[in-house]
Amino acid sequence: MMKNIRTDLAIEAKEIYQKENNGSYPGVEVDEYTEEDIKITNVRIIDQVGEKAMGKPKGSYITVEMPEFAHYDSDAMDDVSEVLAKVLTPLIKLEDNMTALVVGLGNSSVTPDALGPEVISRLMVTRHLKELVPNSIDEGIRPVCAISPGVLGTTGIETGEIIRGVVEKIKPNLVICIDALASRKMERVNRTIQIGDTGISPGSGVGNKRMELSERTLGIPVIAIGVPTVVDAATLANDTIDLVLDEMIQQAKNGGEFYNMLKSIDKNEKQKMIHEVLNPYIGNLMVTPKEVDAVIESLSKIIANGINIALQPALGLEDINRYIN
């Protein structure tokens, strides 16, 4: 069942796994807590049982759930950035003089896939200053560099090959990747930030998974930050039909022929049928909200500042904003 449901979020994979196992999820540990009234869920895959069931490698997948109004309130955006920084800080095991490379994955010409490049445009980059004008920059500033490598269709080069070449040349101590993801629930689209310590496969959010970026392939720790910006159209249609069926079951008389027919529908078979029926007409169609342009702009500010705060603990958010502006 899990393989038929399109999601890049560990928290959703856990929910599906839990449902299939009558409330249990062997091989997976879950912690839930709040920071500044923002819900955080840490899903840890601890063994091969969890890996196989979740379809993800062992490691931590931390989900930050943003308030609904966060995209339209500057104070709320700053709050989410600071919470994101608190989550990131324990994962960033760097001395002050160690270099971090931030990679913005995605296609800047496709709005739902432009999150990575947009974050890079708002990042505090300092490596060149540390090298060229060391006396003009505070000693507590960590060297940070960034790249937005584009996509295979426009560069003709695998993103993984570009990043590997950059890593070999500048020898950073940590890579942070930002990319768009896919969710199975519309309410999580543009509202959820996932932070993982196991790396990432570029293009996963738009159904075009490429070469893996991880400690195994790059030789240094890789932190992945992703936001679901799209949902699979067939999954959305399936959920809509489920809601209609549930409402019809509620309104049907218990024991009636129509009620019994509705109750007998196999939801797993129904989902498979929806995919088969829609595929010839819409293919791998992904859906995103109409206000995606404004949301990607606010999301990029939130994530960029979260990374900036975490990478530059000597500076406050006000100092960082002054530097960027």
Q: How many angstroms separate the CA atoms of 234 and 243, rounded? A: 14
Query: Alpha-carbon distance 155 to 286, whole Å?
Result: 23
Helix (H, G, I), strand (E, B) or coil at 195: strand
Average pLDDT rounded to a whole number, residues 259-267:
70
Which tens digit of pLDDT belongs to each residue from 10-55? Answer: 999 999 899 888 888 999 999 999 998 899 999 999 999 999 989 8
For the residues 283-289, what does the mean pLDDT come to? 80
Ranges of each domain in the chain: 59-229+289-324, 235-282
Residue with tokens 């295979």: 152
Residue with tokens 């829609």: 278
Any idea what the Cα angle at residue 85 is, between residues 303 and 61, rounded to 5°?
80
Residue-level pLDDT at 2: 45
| Widest distance between CA atoms in the chain | 82
| Whether the predicted pLDDT of 3 surpasses 60 | no
Tell me which CATH code domain 59-229+289-324 carries.
Answer: 3.40.50.1450
pTM of the model: 0.86
Q: In the predicted model, is pLDDT for residue 205 greater than 60?
A: no
Q: Is the confidence at residue 229, as pLDDT, over 80? A: yes
Q: Within a 10 A sphere around the Cβ of 232, how many other Cβ atoms?
A: 21
Beta bridge partners of 231: 183, 287
Residue reference for tokens 């070449």: 165
Length of the chain (residues): 325
Q: Which of these, 94, 38, 26, lies nearest to 62 by C-alpha position?
A: 38
Q: pLDDT tens digits for 140-189?
A: 789 999 999 988 888 888 888 999 999 999 999 999 999 999 998 888 99
